Chains A and B, each alone.
Chain A
């Protein structure tokens, strides 16, 4: 096999990307349209009156991509694993490829989401409305990356559990699979869930270095757990037992 893209892990990455790129595009469009729509509606009088300053609705917007990635994560193993193994690739190839795919998608989303915000700011600027908060969200890309990574990773773990075990056991274990996500939310204290958890537990947000190291470890743990569960799994046709 010659060339990087003919390597098995890259084949997995390439074909996973191919499978989901349309979905990603459509989702992003819908996300942006909905985001704009909400803002237009809440600020309609300001727009009508020719402009001014407004408070944009953004809080909690990031929940949507998180759920989206969670769902794709859940589908990942049941939908794709068998296809790769039936074409002669090993489970390890799939695990590595899926890991890369998740990291890449999380990165892409970490850029797209702030970009939507910026685009919205520009569009509203053209309508004469200046947003109050105004600052670029690209500074938060790192946070977004880790949040999306943990949701996607948790999803992957849940899907793997359902593929490997019967559904009753999987439901119980799935509850544990959320741990990395809860952890990420708390550590990053993001708007919505993160802030709420911090308030509730009364823990202060730790230093940046500790945060990111912990998050990296959590991501590694999720990856290794998937690896442990999948590396000897029997290939079945059914998605859920």
Chain B
């Protein structure tokens, strides 16, 4: 379930973030408790708690005393904003760097984008 690429608690946080972005987890919806999470994925509850804490610190989750953890109201918006920035840095900038290395001019890339936009609509 979890690979070695990054600490498990980060992967947990990422996983929940992905769920929020994709809509699997809705805002104000209750999330599994850290113990349920730990049992489900067979990991130490402290690790699960660390991941949840990270999300709470980032304002993505919040705790309702006595009930559990919930997705924050504007979590999705916040995440989309974060991902936006990341998208440009990690995907676009990298793509441009690679294109440069291979020797593809930006003009060709733009033409391709336009073709995709015009041709196949989602």
Q: Do any CB atoms of chain A lie under 8 A from CB atoms of chain B in the complex?
A: no
- Chain A contact residues, CB within 8 Å of chain B: none
- Chain B contact residues, CB within 8 Å of chain A: none
